[in-house]
Structure 1
């Protein structure tokens, strides 16, 4: 199929702010019509409002990888003593936010979270880590959740950490957004055994990340 039939359409923009609510960048989600063979039907770009002297332009600003999605609301929830849900994507976080929960996500894609991002959650009484079910490479979602878990523990985090995934077989619902859209409740999410998660995550490689479409 030639590229004349391939078209990127903007779906939405996710705002990433600093802790005071100042917009630092946007992550733009696109749908791809008629994707190329082995290409995912979605992609993302960054928009830096400060680029070109404040005109703005595509690109990720320096320091972006220290920020989490929905950061001011998450920090406010932590001060209230709320549990925070940490997902692999902004769409998943938004599905939880719509339920009135404190939820966040890292923006870099699977297996690219940072300790700086995890540090924002240090004072939360508990964190729920959602595990994505990547059909062909289950180790990708497993390793991403394990990485977030390890970031928290390496910081000396002493709160509770829960691991959950969407209900159903591995080839079905992929993430918490799918889980909720299918009509399931949070209580119907499946707890993930940490030892089994670690065993699956141990099979992860950078090539698996690329095959799953998460190359940076």
Structure 2
């Protein structure tokens, strides 16, 4: 396909702030019109507002990998004693937030979560970890969810942890956003069996991440 037909369109920007609400960076979501063969119809870039002496520019600032999405609201909710929903992407978190739930995500994509990010949730009474259902590579979403739980456990987290996923068979509704768009409620999500999830996660490899479209 001729690349002149390929076009990137900005869809939205996700703000990542520190705990005080100060903007640290934005993750920009693009839709790709007429993608190349085997290319995903979406991609992401970073905007650093502090770059070039405050003019701003594309790029991920140092320290970005310690931050969670919607961080100030998450910390406030934890102090209230609320359960936090932890999704694989910002779009999913936003759909839950619209419905009154406390939700967060990481910016890096599947299987890139850090211990520092998980540490923000240490005092939450409970965390609901949402599992993405990657059709051809189910081990990718399973491993990412297991990785989030493992970080919490290794930190000494004492709250409850529950895995949930969208209703329906693999290859149907993929994530939280799909589940809610189909008219289901959060309470109608499937509660995952941890043993089965970890068995699936054990098949994960970095090659599976690449096949699922996570280039890095």
TM score, norm. by length of structure 2 = 0.99
Are 1:143 and 2:156 matched, yes or no?
no
Give the 5 Å matches for 1:71-82: 71-82=71-82
Q: Return structure 1 stretches of 4+ with deviation > 2 angstroms.
A: none
Give the 5 Å matches for 1:46-125: 46-125=46-125
Are 1:186 and 2:196 matched, yes or no?
no
- Give the RMSD, CA atoms, in angstroms: 0.4
Aligned-partner SS, 1:142: helix
Aligned-partner SS, 1:124: coil
What are the superposed Cα offsets for residues 124-159 of structure 1, whole Å, 9 maximum, x if unpaired? 000000000000100000000000000000000010
In the alignment, the residues of structure 2 paired with residue 151 and residue 2 of structure 1 have an alpha-carbon distance, to the nearest angstrom, of 44
In the alignment, the residues of structure 2 paired with residue 11 and residue 2 of structure 1 have an alpha-carbon distance, to the nearest angstrom, of 23
In the alignment, the residues of structure 2 paired with residue 215 and residue 69 of structure 1 have an alpha-carbon distance, to the nearest angstrom, of 21
Q: Which residue of 2 aligns with 1:203?
A: 203
In structure 2, runs of 5+ residues without a counterpart are: none
Q: Which residue of 1 aligns with 2:11?
A: 11
Report the Cα offset of residue 187 of structure 1. 1.2
Number of residue pairs matched by the alignment: 216
Report the Cα offset of residue 96 of structure 1. 0.4
Q: Which residue of 1 aligns with 2:175?
A: 175
In the alignment, the residues of structure 2 paired with residue 186 and residue 122 of structure 1 have an alpha-carbon distance, to the nearest angstrom, of 23
Aligned-partner SS, 1:163: strand
Q: Which residue of 1 aligns with 2:31?
A: 31
In the alignment, the residues of structure 1 paired with residue 215 and residue 89 of structure 2 have an alpha-carbon distance, to the nearest angstrom, of 15
In the alignment, the residues of structure 2 paired with residue 57 and residue 197 of structure 1 have an alpha-carbon distance, to the nearest angstrom, of 40
TM score, norm. by length of structure 1 = 0.99
Q: Which residue of 1 aligns with 2:153?
A: 153
In the alignment, the residues of structure 2 paired with residue 103 and residue 73 of structure 1 have an alpha-carbon distance, to the nearest angstrom, of 9
Report the Cα offset of residue 2 of structure 1. 1.2
Q: Which residue of 2 aligns with 1:43?
A: 43
In the alignment, the residues of structure 1 paired with residue 19 and residue 33 of structure 2 have an alpha-carbon distance, to the nearest angstrom, of 36
Report the Cα offset of residue 112 of structure 1. 0.2
